[in-house]
A and B are shown apart, each in its own frame.
Chain A
């Protein structure tokens, strides 16, 4: 009742610069060629930067971490944001990918060949992680929410202690001396591929099933969504790309040990997902970039960094609980066929009405 008694807020006219900015933004969003152009430009830059030393080695390293974190964030967002499950063991899948790929390049493949076979090594890491994801998908048929969180948490721990107890792969000492095969172009390539595949998935028939599960699992089953198939796909795709990120990570860090892939690493990814925004690819990119860069920029603060970052998260959860982009998407990431679905249908109807053959 009090709301009715309050004096109505007079509609404020937006400042001129804001109106201009909105209009410019709107025009830019409608240009469908910008996204492919940006990707092409990024590709050229990813080759040019290391070649001509446009940025110093440290900045390049940070850029590669940003890319890897985007892959991790987008893949976890598929399960946590789009499907609405709560998986907290993403580092476990990452570890599987990292170890499979590192074992391949360090122990199995001849050193001369490994740079050439690196893409295959990364894919192998992804497939290994994907198979583990398959195992996680099964309990997710039965449990949801908190229970699935515990299952994935347990998986993270199992993977970590399993690696610690296998002496062939170094046990707790890890694998040192991994070749630095991860380069800026490769990171860029895999980042683009991840975003592209997840985008295709989300805006397909299967992806709508994923969204339906988030909204109402029972209702989605009754609307003919094969929830088992959908969950299986989402988990496998998500863990596949976590494995890919792990493989890239291992060949960037050049040293992996089980400790790298503990719960804290999983928490990092979770933070990036919820910072950037659940159910949004643009959000995943934003979240991963902001978090990674801020951690580096705030490095001089030392211990205070770990006070400031969580504080930022608390504030974010208070004011934007779904993250910066929460459930919204930049139009550039939405396929044209989906974006234009309604408009195209209207146009088609108009044509049918206008044609004299109709009726």
Chain B
């Protein structure tokens, strides 16, 4: 059986700066892997490389065997990879419903002519997309706010909406970029439950970038630790916790 996602020797330079060097990851369907590391370690860059925002300098990224490097982001999303952002990037001046409906763009079956002429086929497709978007919002308990501008939502709900929007693209693989940023310990426990639940309900494979050790250690099955673009450790959460190189990266070297 081939892996869902296969990243080999992924390397990326920004000018002379090596942001990611020789990153390898093989992901089986259903896994939940965490990527941790200090600020600037290259975690988000890896997400940007997978989703096609940056074109990798070297290496390969394969989803179910097909090469992703060089493809446009919207195409990669269509193949089944969705993500959220470290700093929430909702469409602020649009309604909650529109935020989710936009994510159905790639799946909509409507010709340009039908859309411009407002044909019945366009109308049916609009109804279908709206209903599916509302169903999804209902799952995330946001249906009551569907008509609200997304910028007016409180922080926690914005985070939830971002995940709902990502799931609307029907992903197999979900990339979560610091979903717990700005949350208190109580909210983090809720978030853990939430991630477990969407993983099961939507049959997702998840890669999680996170700083909050409580969250990472709580739900990730496998961890990768990055520092200055290089992978310095990988393995089970327990192993990582006691790895001297990881402690050094996070806390600095001890004084002799």
Contact = CB atoms under 8 A, between A and B. Distances in A.
A13 interface: no
Contact of A342 (B78, B97, B165): B97
A204 B101 contact: no
B90 to A, nearest CB: 8
Contacts of B135: 345
A208 interface: yes
A180 interface: no
A350 B133 CA distance: 17
Nearest to A84: B93
Contacts of B93: 214-215, 327
B123 A348 contact: no
Contact of B89 (A209, A214, A219, A226): A219
The binding surface of chain A is classed by DSSP as: helix
Contacts of A216: 89-91
Interface stretch (B3-11, B104-112, B193-201): B104-112
B138 to A, nearest CB: 8
A279 to B, nearest CB: 8
A221 B73 contact: yes
A224 B116 contact: no
Nearest to B147: A342
B210 to A, nearest CB: 19
B107 A224 contact: yes
Nearest to B114: A204
Interface residues of B, number: 50
Interface stretch (A90-98, A306-314, A333-341): A333-341
Contact of A226 (B74, B104, B131, B169): B74
Given A216-B91, A341-B134, A345-B130, A223 B103 contact: yes
Given A205-B115, A342-B147, A348-B131, A215 B91 contact: yes
Which among A204, A225, A344 has the greatest number of chain B C-beta atoms within 10 A?
A: A204
A15 to B, nearest CB: 28
A323 B16 CA distance: 46
Given A200-B115, A344-B127, A225 B102 contact: yes
Contact of A206 (B73, B77, B112, B143): B112
B146 interface: yes
A224 B103 contact: yes
Contacts of A342: 97, 130, 134, 146-147
A224 B168 CA distance: 10
B130 A204 contact: no
A219 B102 CA distance: 10
A211 interface: yes
A195 to B, nearest CB: 12
Contacts of B129: 205
B134 A345 contact: yes
B122 interface: yes
A227 B74 contact: yes
A222 B73 contact: yes
B77 A223 contact: yes
B134 A223 contact: no
Contacts of A344: 127, 130
Which among A197, A218, A221, A227 has the greatest number of chain B C-beta atoms within 10 A?
A: A221
Contacts of B165: 223
A237 B169 CA distance: 27
B103 A233 contact: no
Interface string A188-212: 0000000011001101111111011
A220 interface: yes
B142 to A, nearest CB: 12
A224 B134 contact: no
B98 interface: yes
Nearest to A343: B147
Contact of B130 (A211, A341, A349): A341
Which among A222, A225, A338, A348 has the greatest number of chain B C-beta atoms within 10 A?
A: A222
Interface of B: 51, 53, 72-74, 77-78, 82-83, 85, 89-94, 97-98, 101-108, 110, 112, 115-118, 122-123, 125-127, 129-131, 134-135, 138, 143, 146-147, 165-166, 168-169
Interface of A: 196-197, 200-201, 203-209, 211-212, 214-216, 218-228, 233, 237, 327, 335, 337-338, 341-342, 344-345, 348-349
Closest 5 CB pairs of A and B: A224-B106, A215-B91, A204-B115, A341-B130, A205-B108
12 contacts: A197-B116, A200-B117, A203-B126, A205-B129, A208-B101, A208-B102, A211-B91, A219-B91, A221-B53, A224-B77, A226-B72, A345-B143
